[in-house]
Chains A and B, each alone.
Chain A
Amino acid sequence: MGIKQLKDPIYGYVKIDSNIFTNIIDTACFQRLRNIRQTSYGPLYSAALHNRFTHSIGVYHLGIIAISAIEKVVPKGIEEATFSNFCIKYKRLFSLACLLHDVGHAPFSHSGEAFYILPKPDELYARMIGEVGDERFEKDASSYHAKSKAAAPHEIMSVIIALERFKEFFQTAEQKAFLARCITGYKYQNIEDEEINLQNCIISSLNSSLIDVDRLDYLIRDSAVTGFESVSIDYIRLLNSLLIVYDEKDKKYEVAYGKGAISIIENVIFAHDAERKWIQNHPVVLYEHYLVQCAIRTVNAHYISDTKKSLFCVEALTQEGCDFGDNRHISLLCDDDIIYLAKNVYPNDLTNEYFSRKDRRHPVWKSEAEYRALFDRKLGDESLDELEEDFSSIEKFLNLKADEPIINEITLQLCKDELTEAEQQDLGPDQETTISGYKTRIKWMECLKSFSESVGIEFDYVLIGANKFKSGFMKEELMEIPIYFPNLGETKRFGHVVTALSSSRKRDKFFYLYYQRRDKPLEIGKITSHIKRALV
């Protein structure tokens, strides 16, 4: 079996067997990932141009390191030959799962994936079950769905694409099911034997709530590509410490880290915290995500209403593609298609704003810290709660109701019209809350309107809610990570050996308010004073 190499700027040479290279990586289906941007960080970090292709290769590489480490240490209670056979059977499958885990990702990655579930949400799930064709997988998947813990739409789509397009690599039902389990994270629910238990261990190495090879690659890659200064993650030391241990209490095998990895686990959490806090929650990035979603929503809505078919269907992701009612053929759906359609076929003010940075709305305050400095102490908890709830109500209402979720004359009138309609209906116990809700929204919209008139700017605002930062150190799952101490011959939980940070905070949401700057920069003090007066 020949080997080919790809040079990756982070990991150096990534070795891949020629068969996988030719029959997966070089196919149109996989090459599509070159045109799916990994993040929406571009407006903040202009070099953030990396794509799902490089990320998938990176995860493949880390997956090989992880499984190679795991196979070196025979878990207690398992025969060496048995474990060796298990690793031979699943190593290649696991590496393929790592390579293909994002093969079904939507244009603009997470901004687009919600649209996979329109117009018939169950279809995607049913298609995945059909492709896998394994009763036990269906039962376990159903159990996850029943608990509202379904895999993300892009994960389901990736299983479908991987099994439909790369059949020769997954010939038995067992192989298909394992691939599907790795990508979706659907572990076996009933563990009746060692092999099933060990499979669950391998599955969690790609799909876990805390640390897995997917997250590791994107944390390292996002930092390296953007230039964002983050902590260094010694991924080699971390992954080489992986082993499978037996938990006497729960009577099952699980993946553990060697004690030498404790500091690196902390670094992973630090890095993830930093990315979430300073990049993902940055108002410019949030606004980019908002514009992209509006553009996709506009474009896709035209397709659904005209053709009853979502642009975000399985067929549109393939090389064969799909015909749509507007005499358009779409294949290998990627960012460029959405950009073309938004720019040339279905433009509107919001899509135009995506393309012209100069015309973008600006955030009134630019960070959670600034928001807190402006509002937190001066208003008092109760008033601030009221403000945040009211603005959250406006944001949610507009997202559910308005084609363009902007606070302006149109949506103000929409609220007034719906208030009139609500007053004429008998809503029973909901009458008071509903009427009060509309009146509150109208009050705040009128407040912003009067402010705009007083300073001579447009009555035109966008509200985007943001989550107040919660560190990954507060996650329960972190406390449960098993750490193996070879000198003690014992496994301890991370939470028992590392001091946990904890804090409690009553309110966990805040918001950004964006306005049309044009040539009139806003004095931040003026608008915040106006808002505070309205509260009082």
Chain B
Amino acid sequence: MCIFIGIEELVANALIELLEKTKEREVTLDKLCEYGAVVVRVLNKKGDEAALVLSRDKTNELVANYADLFEFKDYPDGTSAIALKENVTADILRAQFRVYLPLDVLLAFKNAESVRALGV
């Protein structure tokens, strides 16, 4: 079974964890990539082949399709982050991006090792 994890799932699930554990409302793209890599590793250990789909086209789609939820931020030091728009809560993200996850994928996103990659 090949599991493709899209950027919207990665972003939303990272932000759910950050919001609930640290109240942070944004995730740097570096941390996001690290988080994604660990999620994939966790799934691979369970016998699933997983991969992240993080290409330019997909990222552009994220901004276009979920403009009410997320925004890009660029900082003077060159880092970039994806932030939650005002009033977007973990429950809103959960209802949209966790509701359809199979159990093993959900557990991989919540896994302690994965969440540590976010700096939590």
Contact B56 A185 (CB under 8 A): yes
Interface residues in B20-52 by Cβ distance below 8 A to A read 20, 29-30, 32-33, 40, 44, 49, 51-52
Judging by beta carbons under 8 Å apart, are B100 and A437 in contact? yes
The answer to whether A422 and B100 have CB atoms under 8 Å apart is no
| Interface 0/1 of B50-88, CB less than 8 Å to A | 011111111110101100000000000010100000000
Question: Does B105 have its Cβ within 8 Å of any Cβ on chain A?
Answer: yes
A470 to B20, CA, bound (A): 34
**Taking the complex as formed, is B15 at the interface, i.e. its CB lies under 8 A from any CB of chain A?**
no
The prevalent SS among residues of A at the interface is helix
Give A145 Cβ to nearest chain B Cβ, in Å: 7
For B110, the chain A residues whose CB sits under 8 A away are: 427-428, 430
Residues of A within 8 A of B112 (CB): none
Interface size on A, residues (CB 8 A): 51
Contacts of A418 in B (CB 8 A): 102-103
Q: Which of A4-12, A116-124, A342-350, A510-518 contacts B (4 or more CB under 8 A)?
A: A116-124
Known: A148-B59, A151-B55. A430 touches B98 (CB 8 A): yes
Cross-chain contact A392 with B56 (CB below 8 angstroms): no
Give the docked Cα–Cα distance between A418 and B100 (Å).
Answer: 12
Interface presence of A530 (CB below 8 A): no
Contacting residue for A121 out of B32, B52, B98, CB 8 A: B52
Closest to B94 in A: A433
Count of B interface residues, CB-CB < 8 Å: 42
Contact code string A132-166 (vs B, CB < 8 Å = 1, else 0): 00000000000111111111110000000000000
* B interface residues, Cβ below 8 angstroms from A: 1-4, 7, 20, 29-30, 32-33, 40, 44, 49, 51-60, 62, 64-65, 78, 80, 90-91, 94-96, 98-103, 105-106, 110
A residues contacting B by CB (< 8 A) are 114-115, 117-119, 121, 143-153, 185, 209, 297, 300-301, 304, 389, 392-394, 396-397, 399-401, 403, 418, 421-422, 425, 427-430, 433-434, 436-437, 440-441, 467, 470, 508-509
Count of A-B contacts judged by CB separation below 8 Å: 113
Q: Chain B residues near A185 (CB, 8 Å)? A: 56
- Cross-chain contact B99 with A434 (CB below 8 angstroms): yes
Q: Contacts A397-B100, A427-B106 hold; do A147 and B59 have CB atoms under 8 A apart?
A: yes
- The distance in angstroms between the C-alpha atoms of A399 and B105, with both chains bound, is 12
Report Cα–Cα, A396/B20, bound state, in Å. 24
How near does chain A come to B52, taking the closest CB pair, in angstroms?
6
Please measure, in the bound complex, the distance between the C-alpha atom of A421 and the C-alpha atom of B53, giving whole angstroms.
Answer: 28
